[in-house]
Amino acid sequence: MATLAEIRYDIIQRVKGQVVSDDERLEESYIDKLIRDKRNFLIRDEAKRGLGIHSGWMQDITCLEVKCGEVQCDGIPAGVAYSYVDWPAGAVGNVAYFGTADGSSQFSHWNISAFLLARPTRFGKEPRRYTVVGGKALLKGVPSEIDRVRLIAAVDDPIAAFGVCGLDGENQVYPVPVHQVSRLQSLVLMDLLPVRNILPDTFNNANDETVPSQVNPKLAQAFSTERQEAQ
């Protein structure tokens, strides 16, 4: 199991051919975005096969806060309160568990119509249920004393999900199955290598001397020498 930093470092070193250089134009944030995008692509590809999502893609978020909102009409409060949770992007359809933090009670996912129209059972007990609308998971039947809930799911942005619980995402195991790490890195490299037309560093002298590959390196070196002599 690897962290995001380890996956990113391996990709950058493979792009650079394991050559140590102080001239680098690969932004870590850009690499992270590619990793996130390719991870989501692999999850969707796996889901399309109809065999479910591998548990290695899942992330255990144990501290989602239950919030209280109020229905409004044109900005005017309607006097109707409701409970909700800010729902991580991409989790719909990729949920293994959503319920109480101790794992003892799982909430049922209902569509919006059933969620709004359902009535208590014959014994007067209202089922614990949720539906996702506009980035929120609306809750019903959840006791008011529950202020934190737990979600185990494959989300679009794992680092942001770690931040919900105050964790440093860089030091957490990135949710990718071990057997898919190499494939994920290869997909990222397929995006990077075709546009990587920068020559290796010549002097390793802490100056940015990267030049396009189509430029004659001897001419570029001669120009650099003349510039230094002129100074």
Q: pLDDT by residue for the chain (231 residues), tens digit each?
A: 789 999 998 998 888 775 555 555 678 899 999 999 999 999 999 888 887 889 999 999 988 999 988 766 666 666 667 889 999 888 867 899 999 999 889 999 988 888 888 776 666 678 889 999 888 999 988 888 899 999 999 999 999 999 888 888 888 899 999 999 999 999 999 988 776 655 555 566 666 555 554 445 555 566 566 556 655
Q: Are residues 43 and 104 in the same domain?
A: no
Inside any domain, residue 95: yes
Inside any domain, residue 169: no
For residue 204, what are the domain limits?
A: 4-54+177-230
CB atoms < 10 A from the CB of 211, how many? Answer: 19
Rounded distance between C-alpha atoms, residue 30 and residue 217, angstroms? 28
Rounded distance between C-alpha atoms, residue 53 and residue 135, angstroms? 22
- What are the φ and ψ backbone dihedral angles of 148, each rounded to 5 degrees? -135, 140
Which tokens in the block code for residue 64? 């989602």
Rounded distance between C-alpha atoms, residue 4 and residue 91, angstroms? 20
Q: Are residues 30 and 76 in the same domain?
A: no
Please state the domain count of the chain. 2
Q: Are residues 80 and 116 in the same domain?
A: yes
Q: Is 33 helix (H, G, I), strand (E, B) or coil?
A: helix
CB atoms < 10 A from the CB of 72, how many? Answer: 11
